[in-house]
């Protein structure tokens, strides 16, 4: 897991060949105006989901995990808290992993809580269980999905 500000994120481009394109997309001046929904950047290898949603609070946030995609969660506006726990420390499945949707849930509680301010990003790898939308306010987010198979 990585937590940082977008202006310092270039130090992470060496981690994956698609990270430079992902960061370029997040730096678009019109990012805040892009409509909610899924938008292709590089087909199934790199795409973004734009959403404007209300937080569920820490009690309502669920620990999710992915195997095929790395999440780069970027806060465009509003407030966001995200829980984190290593998937190695998760022992109770809430929703079994579905390879089609690349999504599974654990019932385990996060061990750490992150607070994102606008302009910050969190990068979650497959070993990072994360519980987004743990805050109580509205969040305007871009979630860039980076295919793991390019690692």
pLDDT digits (tens, 9 = 90+) for 89-132: 999 999 999 999 999 999 999 999 999 999 999 999 999 999 99
Question: Any idea which residue has 């790199």 for tokens?
Answer: 46
DSSP-derived secondary structure letter, 125: -
d(CA 145, CA 134): 20
> Average pLDDT for residues 70-74, to the nearest whole number?
98
DSSP string, 30-65: TGGGSPSEEEEEETBTEEEEEEEEE--HHHH--EEE
151 pLDDT higher than 80: no
Pairing label, strands 37-42, 120-124: unpaired
Q: Sketch the domain layout of the chain as residue ranges.
A: 2-150
150 pLDDT higher than 70: no
pLDDT digits (tens, 9 = 90+) for 31-65: 999 999 999 999 999 999 999 999 999 999 999 99
The highest-level CATH class for domain 2-150 is: mainly beta
Strand segments, DSSP code E, in the chain are: 2-5, 37-42, 46-54, 63-65, 69-78, 80-86, 93-98, 103-106, 112-116, 120-124, 128-131, 138-147
């Amino acid at each position: 897991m990585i937590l940082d500000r977008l202006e310092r994120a270039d130090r992470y481009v060496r981690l994956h060949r698609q990270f430079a394109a992902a960061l370029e997309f997040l730096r678009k001046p019109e990012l805040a105006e892009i409509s909610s929904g899924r938008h292709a950047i590089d087909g199934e290898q790199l795409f973004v989901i734009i959403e404007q949603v209300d937080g569920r609070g820490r009690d309502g946030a669920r620990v999710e995990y992915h195997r095929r995609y790395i999440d780069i969660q970027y806060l465009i506006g509003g407030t966001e808290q995200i829980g984190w726990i290593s998937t190695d420390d998760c022992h109770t499945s809430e929703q079994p992993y579905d390879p089609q949707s690349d999504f599974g849930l654990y019932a385990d509680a996060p061990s750490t809580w992150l607070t994102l301010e606008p302009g910050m990003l969190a990068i979650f790898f497959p070993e990072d269980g994360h519980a987004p939308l743990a805050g109580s306010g509205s969040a305007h987010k871009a979630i860039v999905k980076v295919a793991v198979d390019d690692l």
